[in-house]
């Protein structure tokens, strides 16, 4: 059936479109509404009778109406379906996002325009919200890592084009875990929120502060400023972290470590973040509560350390490459053998023979010092068990002293190898003994109770407080070689003072690093009880040590 000219007379059509939940209306060529459904009436906020004959200018602000008219004219001209997403102000004055589909229809030589409106406001809002969630941290409302990466990408582009500088900063709270453990997670969350707030107060609005997760934050510093500006910002961040945090149940204290990477055209967003992370790692290594800048040299050093760590792990697992050397300790006045000190060496598959200074720090940082120390002790005890009259000295790192099972492990090794406890001397540094960790103190007590001797190694390099000698129960003090080798007056006076006090306290004093007869004479004269150094012997491998011990025993017998 051909449609009639009078559209409004099609009653059936009106009934049909009124059931549709979607606003539908028809306009004539003069942009006036000639047909609409109930949903459209509701959308425009007037009754259908009122709306008939309305144009957009009767419904919307003039600027909006202009735009709609222009769009309508394009549809009248082209005739095609036109789909548009637009913002419209509805009857209540709120802005809604709608998708309109418009199409020209021709009836009896007249052009009309059919429009259907889909209100997608809720959908778009949900979309925007989930986009917000995808790019923000819910606890602090700060941008998250995803958004941060995007911002770095943009900064890199700008840097590429116009050399606008920027820096990426990684910030990590030190001791945050303790706050969580002491005051609970809610307090931890509150601290994170407060710190986020403090950070935001330090940087400019054009900078991006973000939370990477946990207690890790990052800042993208834009268009700054000289190196000294960045350092000033770092100092402010360190101060902001050091300010106490009021949390439920008390005041929490933390500090922050910061790593900084400066803009580099050759770097990607991922690489920029890696660099900031490397610098942060270094800041933590250097003792936390400080900032550190990325450099290529630092990068090389850290990746070298990571390589060493992996290789050392491998060496320990396979039991290859590590070797214990031994250096004699001699009785100062007689020159007879007074003991052997075990000193580790590592034959690295690529770098050759490594000294402890090359890898012990890596072992300490990674915790590998614990299995390594265990291995050294077992090796040395096995070897020296065959020389029942020679004391054995083994170096122990602070971390080993904190181990729960330290005492039982040592006693197990002694039992297994047959070395009696009284022959074992554990060389520990002053700082290790000074540790406030109660575990260290109980361990040291238990070790001494078991008959094992505790030697204060490298004395003079640490806190060097002579009162420590009195306070800690030590069986021997070893003066650091730097004092022995530097014959300056001050140093000599210090060695003199230490030996004097030790003698009063009845503690034997060993001097290490004795290389010349002059040094030996001086040390003998001030009352050192034992000497050690290249003058007597270099550290030797097990085979040479055996030979040395055979000769030494003959000498002792002959004496
Ligand atoms: P340390 O315990 O103070 O050992 C003395 C260091 O001085 C040794 O270096 C030794 O080779 C060196 N030395 C000995 N006599 C002389 C001398 O006359 N002149 C000079 N210039 N140096 C002399 P080494 O073997 O490189 O060990 C360095 C440090 O590494 C040791 O210092 C010790 O703290 C640590 N270490 C060595 N082995 C182990 C180990 O098995 N475990 C742990 N935790 N640390 C170890
Ligand atoms: Mg030592
Ligand atoms: Mg030493």
For 266-321, write each residue's pLDDT tens digit: 899 999 999 999 999 999 999 999 999 999 999 999 999 999 999 999 999 999 99
Mean pLDDT of 7-36: 86
Q: Which helix (H) or strand (E) holds 254?
A: none
Burial class (CB in 10 A: 0-12, 13-18, 19+), 188: buried
How many helices and strands in the chain, by DSSP H and E? Answer: 23, 21
Q: Whose CA is nearest to atom 11 of ligand 1?
A: 539
In a 3-state reduction of DSSP, which class is residue 264?
coil
pLDDT band at 553, cuts 50/70/90? confident
Give domain status of residue 307, yes or no. Answer: no
The ligand whose atoms approach the alpha carbon of 520 most closely is: 1
Q: What is the pLDDT of residues 207-230, one digit of tens each?
A: 999 999 999 999 999 977 678 899
Does the Cβ of 537 fall within 6 Å of ligand 1? Answer: no
Query: What is the rounded average pLDDT for all residues in the chain?
Result: 91
Residue 290 and residue 321 share a domain: no
Residue 378 and residue 405 share a domain: yes
Q: Whose CA is nearest to atom 35 of ligand 1?
A: 356
Domain boundary among 124, 149, 176: 124
Place of tokens 């706050």: 179
The token pair that represents 42 in the structure block: 């509701």
Give domain status of residue 2, yes or no. Answer: no
Does the Cβ of 403 fall within 6 Å of ligand 1? Answer: no
Please tell me the predicted confidence (pLDDT) of residue 427.
97
Residue 116 and residue 216 share a domain: no
Q: Concatenated DSSP letters for 484-552? A: HH---HHHHHHHHHHHHHHHHHT--EEE----SHHHHHHHHHTT-SEE-STTT---B-HHHHHHHHHHH
pLDDT band at 558, cuts 50/70/90? low
Please tell me the predicted confidence (pLDDT) of residue 475.
93
Alpha-carbon span 131 to 444, nearest angstrom? 57
Minimum mean pLDDT range among 87-96, 331-340, 446-455: 87-96
Mean pLDDT of 138-144: 96
Question: Taking a C-beta distance cutoff of 8 angstroms, is the pair 339, 422 a contact?
Answer: no
Residue 287 and residue 162 share a domain: yes
Residue 145 and residue 120 share a domain: no
- Laid out side by side, the sheet with 82-89 consists of 33-36, 24-28, 110-119, 95-107, 82-89
Give domain status of residue 254, yes or no. Answer: yes
Residue 387 and residue 419 share a domain: yes
Does the Cβ of 533 fall within 6 Å of ligand 1? Answer: yes
Phi, psi of 85, deg, nearest 5: -100, 125
CB neighbours of 172 closer than 8 A, spacing ≥ 6?
A: 215, 216, 217, 256, 257, 258, 280, 284
Question: Taking a C-beta distance cutoff of 8 angstroms, is the pair 205, 187 a contact?
Answer: no
The ligand whose atoms approach the alpha carbon of 399 most closely is: 1
Alpha-carbon span 460 to 512, nearest angstrom? 12
Q: Whose CA is nearest to atom 19 of ligand 1?
A: 513
Q: 279 lies in which domain range? A: 139-294
Give domain status of residue 66, yes or no. Answer: yes
Give domain status of residue 131, yes or no. Answer: no
Minimum mean pLDDT range among 108-122, 342-356, 495-509, 535-549: 495-509
Residue 236 and residue 203 share a domain: yes
Q: What is the pLDDT of residues 484-524, one digit of tens each?
A: 887 676 777 888 888 888 888 889 999 999 999 999 999 99
Question: Taking a C-beta distance cutoff of 8 angstroms, is the pair 528, 498 a contact?
Answer: no
CATH code, 421: 3.20.20.450
Please tell me the predicted confidence (pLDDT) of residue 431.
81
Phi, psi of 477, deg, nearest 5: -120, 135
pLDDT of 467 > 80? The answer is: no
Alpha-carbon span 199 to 225, nearest angstrom? 18
Q: What is the pLDDT of residues 62-97, one digit of tens each?
A: 998 999 899 899 999 988 777 889 888 877 788 889
Measured from the Cα of 515, ligand 1's closest atom is 18
Q: 343 C-alpha to center of ligand 1: Å?
A: 6
pLDDT band at 463, cuts 50/70/90? low
Does the Cβ of 180 fall within 6 Å of ligand 1? Answer: no
**What dihedral angle (degrees, nearest 10) is formed by the CA atoms of 181, 184, 186, 190?**
-50
DSSP helix, strand, coil percent of the chain (3-state; round to 5): 50, 25, 25
Domain boundary among 264, 294, 324: 294
pLDDT band at 1, cuts 50/70/90? very low
Please tell me the predicted confidence (pLDDT) of residue 166.
94
Give domain status of residue 175, yes or no. Answer: yes
Q: Which sign, positive or negative, has the C-alpha torsion 525, 528, 532, 533?
A: negative
Alpha-carbon span 220 to 174, nearest angstrom? 21
Residue 446 and residue 351 share a domain: yes
Reduced 3-state DSSP string for 357-405? HHHHHHHHHHCCHHHHHHHHHHHHHHHHCCCCCCCEEEECCHHHHCCCC
CATH code, 260: 3.30.70.270
Residue 211 and residue 244 share a domain: yes
The total number of structural domains that make up the chain: 3
Q: Whose CA is nearest to atom 17 of ligand 1?
A: 513
Whole-prediction pTM: 0.74
Alpha-carbon span 273 to 166, nearest angstrom? 13
CATH code, 83: 3.30.450.20
Alpha-carbon span 166 to 263, nearest angstrom? 5
The ligand whose atoms approach the alpha carbon of 326 most closely is: 1
End-to-end CA distance of the chain: 134
CB neighbours of 547 closer than 8 A, spacing ≥ 6?
A: none
Please tell me the predicted confidence (pLDDT) of residue 8.
55
Residue 249 and residue 101 share a domain: no
Give domain status of residue 302, yes or no. Answer: no
Does the Cβ of 328 fall within 6 Å of ligand 1? Answer: no
In a 3-state reduction of DSSP, which class is residue 102?
strand
Please tell me the predicted confidence (pLDDT) of residue 3.
47
Domain boundary among 89, 124, 159: 124
Residue 458 and residue 325 share a domain: yes
Residue 394 and residue 245 share a domain: no
Mean pLDDT of 17-35: 94
Give domain status of residue 370, yes or no. Answer: yes
């Amino acid at each position: 059936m051909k449609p009639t000219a009078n559209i409004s007379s099609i009653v059936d059509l009106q009934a049909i479109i009124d059931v549709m939940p979607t606003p539908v209306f028809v306009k004539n060529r003069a942009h006036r509404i000639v047909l609409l459904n109930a949903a459209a009436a509701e959308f425009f906020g007037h009754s259908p009778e009122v709306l008939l004959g309305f144009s957009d200018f009767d419904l919307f602000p003039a600027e909006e109406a202009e735009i709609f008219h222009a769009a309508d004219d394009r549809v009248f001209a082209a005739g095609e379906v036109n789909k548009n997403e637009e913002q419209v102000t509805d009857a209540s004055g709120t802005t809604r996002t709608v998708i309109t589909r418009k199409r020209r229809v021709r009836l009896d030589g007249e052009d009309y325009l059919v429009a259907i409106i889909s209100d997608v406001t809720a959908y778009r809002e949900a979309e925007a919200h989930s986009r917000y969630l995808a790019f923000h941290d819910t606890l602090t409302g700060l941008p998250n890592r995803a958004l941060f990466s995007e911002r770095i990408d943009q900064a890199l582009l700008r840097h590429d084009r116009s050399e606008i500088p920027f820096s990426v900063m990684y910030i990590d709270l030190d001791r945050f875990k303790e706050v969580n453990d002491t005051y609970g997670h809610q307090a931890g969350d509150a601290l994170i929120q407060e710190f986020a707030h403090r950070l935001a107060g330090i940087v400019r609005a054009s900078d991006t502060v973000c939370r990477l997760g946990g207690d890790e934050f990052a800042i993208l510093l834009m268009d700054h400023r000289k190196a000294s500006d960045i350092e000033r910002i770092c100092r402010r961040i360190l101060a902001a972290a050091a300010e106490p945090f009021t949390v439920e149940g008390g005041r929490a204290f933390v500090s922050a470590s910061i790593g900084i990477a400066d803009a580099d055209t050759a770097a990607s967003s991922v690489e920029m973040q890696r660099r900031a992370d490397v610098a942060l790692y270094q800041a933590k290594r250097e003792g936390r509560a400080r900032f550190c800048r990325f450099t290529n040299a630092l990068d090389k050093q850290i990746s070298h350390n990571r390589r060493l760590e992996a290789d050392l792990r491998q060496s320990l697992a396979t039991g290859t490459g590590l070797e214990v050397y031994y250096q004699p300790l001699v009785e100062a006045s007689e020159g007879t053998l007074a003991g052997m000190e075990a000193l580790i060496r590592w034959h690295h598959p690529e770098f050759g023979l490594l000294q402890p200074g090359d890898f012990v720090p890596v072992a300490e940082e990674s915790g590998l010092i614990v299995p390594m120390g265990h291995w050294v002790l077992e090796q040395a005890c096995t070897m020296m068990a065959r020389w029942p009259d020679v004391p054995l000295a083994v170096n122990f790192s602070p971390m080993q002293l904190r181990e729960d099972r330290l005492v039982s492990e040592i006693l197990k090794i002694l039992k297994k190898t047959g070395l009696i406890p009284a022959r074992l001397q554990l060389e520990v540094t002053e700082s290790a003994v000074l540790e406030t960790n109660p575990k260290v103190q109980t361990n040291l007590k238990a070790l001494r109770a078991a008959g094992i001797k505790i030697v204060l190694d490298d004395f003079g390099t640490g806190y060097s407080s002579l009162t420590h000698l009195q306070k800690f129960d030590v069986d021997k003090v070893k003066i650091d070689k730097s004092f022995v080798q530097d014959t300056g007056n001050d140093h000599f006076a210090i060695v003199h003072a230490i030996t004097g006090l030790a003698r009063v306290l009845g503690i034997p004093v060993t001097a290490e690093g004795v290389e010349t007869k002059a040094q030996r004479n001086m040390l003998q004269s001030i009352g050192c009880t034992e000497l050690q150094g290249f003058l007597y012997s270099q550290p030797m491998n097990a085979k040479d040590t055996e030979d040395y011990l055979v000769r030494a025993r003959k000498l002792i017998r002959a004496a």
